[in-house]
A and B are shown apart, each in its own frame.
Chain A
Amino acid sequence: MVLRMVVGLVLTAVALGIAGRRLWWLKRLAFSGQPAPERLQFAREHPATDLEALATEVIGQRKMLKWTVPGMAHADTFWGFIVLLLTVIEAYGALFQRTFYIPGIGQSAALGFIEDLFAVGVLCGIITFTVIRVKNNPHREGRASRFFGSHTRAAWVVLAMIAAVIITLLIYRGAQENTGVFPYKKDGPWPFASWVVGRWLRPLGYGVNSVLEVVFILAQLGVIMGFLVVVTYSKHLHIGLAGFNVLFSRRPNALGPLEPMRSNGKVLNFEEADPDTDTFGIGKIENLTWKGFLDLGTCTGCGRCQSQCPAWATGKPLNPKQLILDLRTTPSPRPRIFWPTRTDGSGCRRRCWLRPTALWSAARMSAV
């Protein structure tokens, strides 16, 4: 028991340390840009509108579900993650007390069933994502694939990690059934997936199952902590940032009017503005506001924007997704965003926007 406690806690402390340091760096990066007092003011003055946006777009997955199949797969995964937070509590509890259950509700058949249902839901979700990614393989489909230029390696790593979260979860729960410490042991087959896995593992005997129980609880926590670190270094930052990005976005959306030009949070008055001291549009990465940085950090490269873009559809160099990813790979030493257009046909454009990471050595945000 002491061993599992020590290993589990050390692992957690290390992961939280790495992820925390990274998040702190990202926060400093974002706030090194321009202020955006109008966004904070709007959020303060319109809490109901903002809560509604969070409820529909984040919890309700409204915009995700505009695309039925990937939307459902994402909703499964997202809701699954929320429900499965309960299993994280259970796993941590089991570090301290083998027979731990969540007080009050933690032994009910309903909860056992719901946890297993969402665990299986998440698995279905990531299987769907795998199929979608294989079908839209950008190496084969080229520009037509919505993942063209997206960070596909990071995507595979994340899918594998989510699969590992669910698999380790079901194995330790199955083993718990056989060692008699499962919180839902009185509920028979209601926690159905764990029950099935338990049936498979039963022939291995009590001894092996005890080992499996402890190993896979630690593996589960290890994978979750590893995932936490990967998220802060990858396109999957959206898990933490999407809610904030929706919260601070323009209402009802960033369409209609253009925003007035602002410098240091104040609307520019051309009669007094000084190009030497004021910000005139975006010429360097630090000209973005923190909301701009939030946009960059939130993009997962899903390519839905690209799929709708008339410029991209007709062979222009603009790809809205790529633009966001390229801005993101602009590094912290802050060179200018722009390169002069080369007219000699030397292929600059291709390298410029296809493989930005190769050009920008200090870029870290997109690399796993």
Chain B
Amino acid sequence: MIDPEVIWSCTNCGACVNECPVDIEHIDHINGMRRHQVLIQSAFPQEATTMLNNLERRGNPWGMAEDKRAEWITECDFEIPVLDGKIPAETEYLFWVGCAGALEDRAKKATKAIAELLHNAGVQFAVLGPGETCTGDPAGRLGNEFVYSMLAQQNIGTLNQADVARGSGKKVIASCAHCFNTIRREYPQLGGNYEVVHHTELLAKLVEEGKITPVTENGQKITYHDPCFLGRHNKVFAPPREIIGALPGTQVQEMERSGSKSFCCGAGGGRMWLEENTGTRINDTRATEALGTGADVIATACPYCNVMLGDAVNAKKATGEARENVEVIDVAQLLVRSTRLREQAGADTATLPRSE
């Protein structure tokens, strides 16, 4: 007999599947049980109800108005084309911003950093703005396949209308590890095939090609947290590290659990939207590990990790367990700072610690 709390505790981080010597598929079983609980029993953690309603009504987990998705664009001091229909021939990339990237304050900073880097590197890209909706990942991972497929179909329609399907020569950039996994690996099941790159993959390539040149030294100690859906699920381990490695004058300290053995931030599998009342908090555990490296910066590459670890570090600052200057930010933000002159650095990222 299985207590339902067992299946709702899973973050879908994939550590079990990755570790199992005989290839047992734990996540598939857990998600199968979630699907049954949700679709047949209508039994799921109550706190998910609001989020799922928001997804159905507004297409984002927070229930914010669609036009809010375009707000960050107006906050950039350069032009970003918002697609209404087909992508222009000369534009190579469609930047899929994601709900968090467009609507959540911390993730918006990463979004703007990515846009600025691409713009300065001369990469032609466009966004969908209010045309995006949630990829459906939080619903699907919580077992609500119904809402997932509704959102997925809608997005596949939008993406196909933009003419960025595989074979068109266009690529989709995803900055959220969950959007990345969903569009790249799950949409093909519904007939949507796209060439999807994660922003860290593209940025690492641009750095390597010399189109982005990090110059400013900051003397910080950085540790990198592998997002589960980028690392373990999709094997993107190296590009974020290459970016960090290219930053001048930084020191990198890996956590003991990193790469394919990385420890979850606690937000996957729809857990971002559920309460965590039993035991200790996963994000707190991971933040403790990250702080244990003595790092000034905990770099991530996913808005969920950013929020979870950011919250945990803030809580630790309040209790004095973390130094005030420690920050949790996206790799793209680190990179953009390093491309600016010192006096301009931190223009949009408020708290750049001056360690000297």
**A residues apposed to B, CB below 8 Å:** 57, 61, 63-64, 66, 238, 241-242, 245-246, 249-250, 253-261, 267-268, 270, 275, 280-283, 287-288, 291-292, 295, 298-300, 302, 304-311, 313-324, 326-327, 330, 337-341, 348-349, 352-353, 356, 359-360
Contact = CB atoms under 8 A, between A and B. Distances in A.
Interface in B1-27: 1-7, 9-11, 13-27
A254 B143 CA distance: 17
Nearest to A261: B145
Interface stretch (B246-254, B280-288, B314-322, B340-348): B280-288
A321 B17 CA distance: 11
Q: Which of B23, B35, B140, B279 has the most CB of A within 10 A?
A: B23
Contacts of A249: 23, 25
B39 interface: yes
B183 to A, nearest CB: 10
B149 interface: yes
Interface of B: 1-7, 9-11, 13-41, 140-141, 143, 145-146, 149, 181, 185-186, 188-189, 232-234, 261, 263-264, 266, 278-282, 285-286
19 contacts: A254-B26, A259-B28, A268-B145, A280-B36, A281-B31, A281-B33, A281-B35, A282-B29, A295-B24, A295-B29, A305-B26, A310-B285, A311-B9, A314-B285, A320-B16, A320-B26, A337-B1, A338-B4, A349-B3
A307 B16 CA distance: 8
Contacts of B266: 310
B55 to A, nearest CB: 16
Contacts of A270: 145-146, 149
B287 to A, nearest CB: 12
B25 A338 contact: no
Contact of B3 (A268, A304, A306, A341): A341
A310 B279 contact: no
A341 B2 CA distance: 9
B29 A317 contact: no
Contacts of B36: 280-283, 287
Contact of B280 (A300, A305, A315): A315
B295 to A, nearest CB: 20
B21 A324 contact: no
B254 to A, nearest CB: 17
A352 B2 CA distance: 7
Given A238-B22, A261-B35, A309-B15, A339 B263 contact: no
B274 to A, nearest CB: 11
B9 A317 contact: yes
Contacts of B264: 310
A291 B40 CA distance: 23
A349 B2 CA distance: 8
B11 A311 contact: yes
Nearest to A304: B19
